Amino acid sequence: MLDLAIIGGGPAGLTAGLYATRGGLKDVVMFEMGMPGGQITQSSEIENYPGVFREEPHLTGMELMEPWPKQCMHFGLKHEMAEVKQVKKEEDIFKIITPSQEYEAKSVIVCTGSTPKRAGFKGEDEFFGRGVSTCATCDGFFYKDKEVAVLGGGDTALEEALYLANICSKVYLIHRRDKFRAAPPTVERAENNPKIEFVLNATIKEAYGSAMGLDGVIIEQDGKEIDLKVPGLFVFVGHNVNNKVLKQDDGSFLCDVNDWGEVIVNLKMQTSVPGLFAAGDVRVDAAKQVVCAAGDGAVAGIGALNYVQEHFND
């Protein structure tokens, strides 16, 4: 039986593995369906991970994550390249179900992340990471004193538009309706911000640019096309929380999740189920940053170590 099963090998899962193995847990397996590293490996530049900074050329997400697995494996973390389909708990023991095998574990840390949704307009994928972004905290600074556009009408779009207005010279808020899902006080703050211009009842037809990156977006509004020349477009049309592994046969979740499917944890990353922890983007109120996911992973790794030592003193 495993001491600990970690589901997901991004910054949260790898750091959880490092702390749990280095702290003394023996049989720790990280189930990662791809190469370890997580979603940051898709990013062409990261400049807000403390202590690791390169001005030109920018440090890529792949470069940031490259040494992490080796450090974890040094202390005994094992990587199983498999997609976990389900995690169950029977009495005190967790079952980890993969397509080919079923594992037993004394504790589990879920670090499966979340995935921002794409809006689906032409050029979105082509310019993703080269002007099109889903993270204002990550990429907003690259557009300091420049004009940018934000797509979406929910809380995230409005809050991130306000964040970007602190950095950028102007923010066009493009939304397909004239009513917002965002909370009224947030909408009011955005309306009162002189740097934010609302472009309503409008959809993005196409993002265009060159090999250098995004040059602008073509918007359709009231049957007319508008050419908005912006080097940055932030898409906030919702996100999928990767919580499928917690779904039980009857459709319920193994532990408490909120209305948006985010796993509810306390400050020790403990879920409502003893021995089950969640860390990183999959958890409630996640800042969705590498440094925060790593911090969560450390807390959860220490928590799992204590849990196993207290409950299974063999």
Cα 155 off chain centre by = 17
Among 86, 215, 238, 312, binds ligand NAP (CB under 6 A): 238
Q: Which of 10, 214, 1 is nearest to 115 (CA)?
A: 10
Q: What are phi and psi of 30, to 5 degrees?
A: -100, 115
In the complex, least distance from residue 231 CB atom to ligand NAP, rounded to whole angstroms: 20
Q: Token pair for residue 283?
A: 């958890």
CB of 121 to ligand FAD, least distance (A): 17
Q: How far is the CB of 243 from ligand NAP (least distance, A)?
A: 14
The two beta strands, 196-199 and 170-174, are parallel
- Options 3, 6, 8, 29; binder of ligand FAD; rule CB under 6 A: 8
Which residues are catalytically annotated?
Answer: 135, 138-139
**Is 260 among the residues that bind ligand NAP (CB under 6 A)?**
yes
Give the residue, chosen from 154, 215, 226, 273, that forms a contact with ligand NAP under the rule CB under 6 A.
154
All residues at 6 or more sequence positions from 303 whose CB lies less than 8 Å from its CB, including other chains: 268, 269, 270, 277
- The answer to whether 10 contacts ligand FAD (rule: CB under 6 A) is yes
- The option from ligand FAD, ligand NAP, none interacting with 280 (CB < 5 to 8 A, set by class) reads ligand FAD
Q: How far apart are CA 163 and CA 159, in angstroms?
A: 6
Identify residue 218 by its one-letter amino acid code: I
181 is a site residue for ligand NAP (CB under 6 A) = yes
Of ligand NAP, ligand FAD, none, which one does residue 196 interact with (CB within 5 to 8 Å by kind)? Answer: none
Nearer to ligand NAP, 87 or 119 (CB): 119
Closest CA to 103 of 174, 4, 19, 10: 4
Binding of ligand NAP by 135 (CB under 6 A)? no
